Structure 1
Amino acid sequence: MQLLTALFLALALNAAPAFADGDSWSSPPTAIESADYAAGKRAAEARDWKSAIDAFGRVVAKEPGNAGAYNYLAFAYRKSGNLDLAFKNYREALRLDPKHRGAHEYIGEAYLMAGNVAKAEEHLKILDGLCRFGCPEYDDLKKAIADHKAKPPR
């Protein structure tokens, strides 16, 4: 019985999603969040994409290994309509952290914006492997793909 309890506990702990900062951007947070990082998050929450780009640009200049900052930077570029720079920064986030669930979700959404459903589905498949017991990033990208496919062609 103790073995079953230990096994169940180990599985439950392994299945718990690792959210950074209480959101779905899943790179582990740095030990101390920089002022620029915090300013970038506030700007992104306020949908001030230029300020978010500026702040996260400063973060990645100082911390070139920060996958979470590259993901946020890419997100701000995507939301501002600059898909080229969004893709560049999502790719860097994924190069630094190939298991970054948020970057996989958001690059998939960027591919949908670019009309490339097949590439979005590739990232959904990767998320399916990363999220053994499900995760919000998988669910959100799956829904975005379904919604995209349901839209009538222009």
Structure 2
Amino acid sequence: MPHIFAYMLFGLLGLVSMALDPAMAAGTEEATEVDADYTKAKAKIAAEDYAGALPLLDQLTASQPENADAWNLRGYANRKLGNMDVAAASYTTALTLNPGHLGALEYQGEMFVELGQTDAAKANLKKLQDLCGDCEQAEDLAEAIGVSG
């Protein structure tokens, strides 16, 4: 009888360790690789290497179509490169997946400013303020619009 409890304890410890390590729980290294690609893409964007980030982001959005963060960064990189149609579609996808995505609301709003669509940008600002008050994203968008937050 004591052996059963030992097996149960080892099984429980195994489950806990998998919960603490998502890559292990998935049974593959794909989760770690995806995180690494996302991290690489963010680093390229931080270095203003938008063209270098796009292949990583295209790959991420293809392999993880439900990843609103990847769609948002894909929109950002495309906007910075002047690909407004692709940027708009990417932001729309990010916001369809997560309507309260603060980054996508800010960046889409900044795109609206660049396109001269001030009313749409102000609508995004209102959504941000409703979601997070005077958070960084709302302040940055207000500044881009040229209004006080």
Q: Aligned runs of 1:74-89 on 2, under 5 Å?
A: 74-89=75-90
List alignment gaps of at least 5 residues for structure 1: 1-29, 148-154
In the alignment, which residue of structure 2 is the partner of 1:49?
A: 50
TM-score, normalisation: structure 2: 0.74
Distance 2:32 2:124 in 1: 28
Distance 1:144 1:32 in 2: 35
Distance 2:100 2:90 in 1: 15
Identical-pair percentage: 38
In the alignment, which residue of structure 2 is the partner of 1:11?
A: none
Distance 2:96 2:35 in 1: 22
User: 1:74-111: CA deviations, max 9, x gaps?
Assistant: 00000011111000000000000000001000000000
Q: With a CA cutoff of 8 Å and minimum separation of 6, indicate the structure with the bigger relative contact order.
A: 1
Q: Which aligned runs of 4 or more in structure 1 are off by greater than 6 angstroms? A: none
List alignment gaps of at least 5 residues for structure 2: 1-30
Larger Rg: 2
TM-score, normalisation: structure 1: 0.72
Count residues in correspondence. Answer: 117
User: 1:49-86: CA deviations, max 9, x gaps?
Assistant: 11111111111111110000000000000001111100
In the alignment, which residue of structure 1 is the partner of 2:122?
A: 121
SS at match of 1:128: helix
Letter of the structure 2 residue corresponding to residue 143 of structure 1 = E
Distance 1:108 1:31 in 2: 32
CA RMSD between the two structures = 1.7
In the alignment, which residue of structure 2 is the partner of 1:151?
A: none
Letter of the structure 2 residue corresponding to residue 39 of structure 1 = K
SS at match of 1:98: coil
Letter of the structure 2 residue corresponding to residue 135 of structure 1 = C
In the alignment, which residue of structure 1 is the partner of 2:142?
A: 142
